[in-house]
Structure 1
Amino acid sequence: MAPPSAIEVEAVTDTSGVTIPDPLSAPIRSNEILGRRKKTDKRQWGVAAPSDTSHFRLKSYEGKPKARRWDHYCSHEAKVRKGNSLKAAAKFLSTPGLISLGGGLPSSEYFPFEELSVKVPVVGHFSEQETKESGVVITAGKHDLANDKSIFDIATAFNYGQGSGAAQLLRYVTEHTELVHSPPYEDWRCTMSIGSTSGLDMALRMLSRPGDMMLSEAYTFSAAVETALPLGVRIAGVPVDAEGLRPDSMDDILSNWDVNVQGARKPHLLYTVPTGQNPTGATQGKARREAIYAVCQKHDIFIIEDEPYYFLQMQPYTGPNAPDIPPPSSHAEFLQSLVPSLLSMDVDGRVMRLDSFSKVISPGSRIGWVTASAQIIEKYGRHADVSTQNPAGMSQLILFKLLDEHWGHAGYLDWLIHIRIQYTSRRDVILQACEKYLPKEIVSWNPPMAGMFHWMQVDFRKHPDYPEKSIETIEEEIFMRVIEHGTLVMRGSWFYANSEDKHDTLFFRATYAAAPAEKIDEGIRRLGEAIRAEFKLEKGAAGENRHANGH
């Protein structure tokens, strides 16, 4: 079913005056954002133009609390880093009549690109086939800004830029963040990133020191562990359940922290993936997130909220052969259906949220954004200016043309609803295949509510060679047996937050993100076949499983 079409609105250009709705504190609708934008000056869109996201916010935050200061957690590196003095000089480039003999900005005359064109879907017709048949070509020219055709062009995007990203796309993600999360404190800001893994790396450099321990789910994103360990930061795994990280367990760990036993000071950072968690697929509900935030307030924990799967929240799973639940009928209903983010309940400015286009547009764009307090964003920007610099200008230009000029905020929400329905269908395929092919006395699972991953627990104690063989050996043998049967699933041990912790459960992770439905079904059939062979099960005449050796 196609998502609701974007509501048409009267066009408003970036150089024309607009009527600002009153009061500014009123809720924002996706089709009102153009009308709420403040009048702009062409000079603010130029090469390497500095920007402050507070200028792009649509509501008034007067009377909201200010974020707490985090000086007591900032690393020495974060405190002494001064940023890039040459980029600071870029603010003078827009001065009328200025002849720049300063910055080393190459002339766009020598960029071997005159136009950039991409074919993209029209709103409401998002499938690959529809895009092929009815998609439209959007084009960026080299000098569109100078010729008043657009506020972003090749001459600007393909040159050097600020670490915060191009103002044109930064404005869009700021508005999007306000529309979806509306942070409840005054001095929140956004900045662009080159993806959330880079964002986590910078956060750890800013907010930790070698020897620290950081909290995370007991099973966590493996790249997070691999990012932290070389920086001297170990992870303390917090037990999880079907709804993700357990706040009572986190409170217990922090309340009873023993520096001598742990070999580290009490943690002050929490890294969490609240929605469609990688690898468990668990999603923290609203009450769970509120409880986690309360524990963080109690122990003064700073939260790194990594949310690449936030918009992959799916329709409720109602079982095999159940009728489909209709998709959201409006943008407001869609946004209301999303579990509130930790950012949306952050009154202290203790959340650093990492967002990304990787799972909903394209991983290869290498574009994401960070939302946090002005203090944290300023320090992040100083780091970016002398390391990653800005995200690739080519990617920023393509995304700006698609998201801002072509789809707009309303069209992007339509796309996200489309993605929701597609992932719901894929999730349902893998769950139905599991019901059909997997031996339930050996394998159990909870239906994922979001994300890309299906987390399956295997009762290793029913393996015919247990306890003679260890859990590690049984995991290895199951993994290789599955490979022999022609499919691949990830071993749960690869996602341990702390490999030194003892684990008495065995998991495997499957994804339904990439393979088509028939391949998902066949892959799970082969997985079931492999598990039966490994556990010496055979299928009886009535369809029941039993141990071949009679156990």
Structure 2
Amino acid sequence: MGEALINGSGAVSNVSALETLGPAAKLTDADPSEIPPASGPGRENAVTISDILERRAKAGRLIAPTASYADSDMFKGPQVGKPKSKSMNHHLSAESLSRHPCALKQAARHLKNPNIISLGGGLPCAEYFPIESITLKVPTPPDFSEAATSQSGAEVRIGKYDATDPSIQGTYDLAVALNYAQASGSAQLLRFVTEHTELVHNPPYSDWRSCLTIGSTGALEQTLRMLCDGPGRRDSLLTEEYSFSTALETAGPLDLKVVGVKMDGQGLLPEAMDELLSNWNPEEREGRRKPHVLYTVPSGQNPTGTTQGLERRKQVYEVARKHDLFVIEDEPYYYLQMPLEESKETESEEETVESFMSSLIPSLLSLDVDGRVLRMDSFSKVVVPGSRVGWVTASENIIEQYLRHAEVCNQGANGISQVILYKLLDEQWGHEGYFKWLMNLRQEYTKRRDTMVTAAEKFLPKEVVSWTVPVAGMFYWLKIDHSQHPGIQAGKGILEVEEEIFNSCIARGVLVARGSWFRAEQDTEPNELFFRATFAAATAENMTEAIRRFGEAIRESFKL
């Protein structure tokens, strides 16, 4: 087996000749309804883990020294028969178009010459890094319990010079991870997420790229600035009528007018979005131009817990094409898709990786024939939030513009987090092990979801509280029939009643999130009353007790 040096550009791209990707790959005037999704029914022609392993074997050991230039195109399989993406330059903001490549980062590409002596970059010498090694103890698939990890987990050591020690021949070490790096992320972890994206989503155009991020919140801020013009430019942002509060708070200082689209049990309503855009009148919208960017969370949407089915996603995408929208697909809960039946899922060892992948609803990225979707993935909800590492996937040109901002903003994801995630996900677990971890996680969250279902059925007054059991994510969206509230009948406003119930909950020792925090259009009066509860962290006993206390607060407020 050889070695693959990627100190320069493109040395390991297309290292194996995978078979043609099936009928969808031959489409030129692509129609998303005709493309077999990367996951779910029709994924028989998708890239497999075996393909990835074969590709790696042919490429040999990955050698990527300090600040190595890396591009996810180096790690993709041949995109045979796929069309290129359409240009989305007209969606880019003036700020983004004014950015140019970082001269020092570009200079690092010259390091592809192994004989060059670099005096160009201010890279500190690893000799002066005061960390010699890091030791981890991690689970061994398929038993991921804390007890099993404590007793028989794998001991993983990350040394400073593992990659240059002939006796170890490692791929990634602290000498590389602790130093400056490219904004796209380390070649080692970028390879893993690129392969993962290809396995799960397999975008139907050829020039897609991924790059690492500092987590989805930072990625969203960069993306909004890349796509939307700031103060004085009168831009608007479409999203669900109830949306992630931090996303709303990110858009506000950028002077983006957030416009909420009506929802139902499957989230975003495409016909409502179509009607809103078709009838957009700037004079009635404070002079704001017609929105050209949609921010959506298709799976386990925060805060409502709704999940767009495959047909709904296709409809949303078609409306985006009709009105030339650029779509930001934020999917932190994608792998927390759960069966609706209470805890009747098979044990993890009886479920295969293939059946797990086939059960996932295809993503908007997997339906995107134009290159109008930027997908945000994160390790926060499925590995550890504190890593502050995720990745985005979009067309080559969009990723290039994203990197121009990252180079002068954050310079890329945290090196220690990257090397730890690499050791865990790539070296210890591999793609199959990571999928088994995700399968285990889905089962655990399903149990938590069912605990809250049981508690809600037992303790909440159904005459005034209603809900839909979520099929993904970690949130329960509780609708309160405010019309029956004595305060409303006496002339109080919904926000006043919401605050009263919230304060009563706090007094009883339970914290739930107020629905008004998530309203996309904060400058309008609400006409509905909601609270959000999460089943992410509390024990089953505490979760049940919390719902009981919430039920008490509701009964007292409604004088039931």
Tell me the TM-score normalized by structure 2.
0.90
Residues in 1 aligned to 2:140 and 2:63: alpha-carbon distance in whole angstroms: 29
1:92 deviation in Å? 2.0
Whichever residue aligns with residue 30 of structure 1, its letter is: I
Aligned to 2:180: 160
Tell me the CA shift for residue 141 of structure 1: 1.2
Identity between Structure 1 and Structure 2 (%): 51
C-alpha contact (below 8 Å) 2:373/2:394 kept by paired residues: yes
**Are the aligned partners of 2:182 and 2:411 in contact in 1 as well (CA < 8 Å)?**
yes
Aligned to 1:540: none
> Which 4+ stretches in 1 moved above 3 angstroms?
12-22, 38-44, 322-328
Spell out the pairing of 1:469-480 with structure 2 (5 A cutoff): 469-480=492-503
CA distance, structure 1, for counterparts of residue 347 and residue 264 of structure 2: 29
Calculate the aligned-residue CA RMSD, in Å.
1.9
- Contact 1:307–1:353, Cα closer than 8 Å, also in 2: yes
Compared CA separation, residues 68 and 87, structure 1 to 2 (3 A): same
How far does residue 326 in structure 1 lie from its aligned partner after superposition?
Answer: 5.6
1:150, 1:258 → 2: CA distance?
60
1:66 is matched by which residue type in structure 2?
K
Question: Which residue is equivalent to 1:542?
Answer: none
Match of 1:548 in 2: none
1:426 lines up with 2:448 in the alignment: yes
Deviation at 1:54? 1.1
Cα separation, 1, equivalents of 2:474 and 2:197 = 23
What is the aligned partner in structure 2 of residue 130 from structure 1? 148
Residues 1:389 and 2:407 are matched in the alignment:
no
Counterpart of 2:54 in structure 1 is 35
Provide the residue aligned with 1:92 in structure 2. Answer: 110
Q: Deviations over 1:478-515 (max 9, x none)?
A: 11111111101000000011112342110000000010
2:376 match: secondary structure: strand
For 1:366, the equivalent position in structure 2 comes to 388
- Retained in 2: the 8 A contact 1:46–1:94? no
Structure 2 residue matching 1:311: 3-state secondary structure: coil
- Show the counterpart of 2:296: 272
CA distance in 2, matches of 1:273, 1:450: 11
Counterpart for residue 30 of structure 2: none
Q: Describe the shift of the 1:439–1:526 C-alpha distance in structure 2 as closer, same or farther (beyond 3 A).
A: same
* 2: CA distance, partners of 1:52 / 1:455: 41
Alpha-carbon distance in 2 for matches of 1:359, 1:14 = 35
Instruction: Indicate the SS of the match to 1:403.
Output: helix
- Which residue, 230, 255, 277 being the options, matches 2:253? 230
Q: Which residue in 1 is equivalent to 2:157? A: 139
Q: 2:375 — aligned with what?
A: 353
Shift of 1:62: 2.6
Residues 1:23 and 2:48 aligned together: no
Q: Which residue of 2 aligns with 1:376?
A: 398
Pairing partner for 1:488 from 511, 531, 539: 511
Partner Cα distance (2:119, 2:479) in 1: 64
Question: Within the alignment, does 1:52 sit opposite 2:71 as a pair?
Answer: yes
Equivalence map 1:135-284=2 (5 Å): 135-148=153-166, 149-210=169-230, 211-263=234-286, 264-284=288-308
How far apart in 2 are the matches of 1:15 and 1:74? 35
* Structure 2 residue 469 is the aligned partner of structure 1 residue 464: no
- Distance between the aligned counterparts of 2:87 and 2:50, measured in 1? 35
- Match in the other structure for 2:536: 513
Question: Match of 1:438, as an amino acid?
Answer: L
> Matches of 2:15 and 2:261 in 1, distance apart?
50
Change beyond 3 A, Cα 1:354–1:463: same
Kept in 1, the 8 Å contact 2:2–2:61? The answer is no
Partner in structure 2 of residue 330 of structure 1: 352
Kept in 2, the 8 Å contact 1:19–1:35? The answer is no
For residue 465 of structure 1, report the CA deviation from its aligned partner: 2.2
The answer to whether the 8 A contact 2:20-2:80 is kept is no
**TM-score w.r.t. structure 1 length?**
0.92
Change (3 A) 1:57 1:22: closer
Q: Deviations over 1:451-481 (max 9, x none)?
A: 1100000011111222321111111111111
Kept in 2, the 8 Å contact 1:43–1:94? The answer is: no
Counterpart contact for 1:65–1:185, Cα < 8 Å: yes
Distance across 1 between alignment mates of 2:17 and 2:62: 25
Is 1:312 the counterpart of 2:336? The answer is yes
Q: Does 1:103 align with 2:121?
A: yes
Change (3 A) 1:270 1:354: same
Take 1:185 and 1:314, find their aligned partners in 2: how far apart are those partners?
29
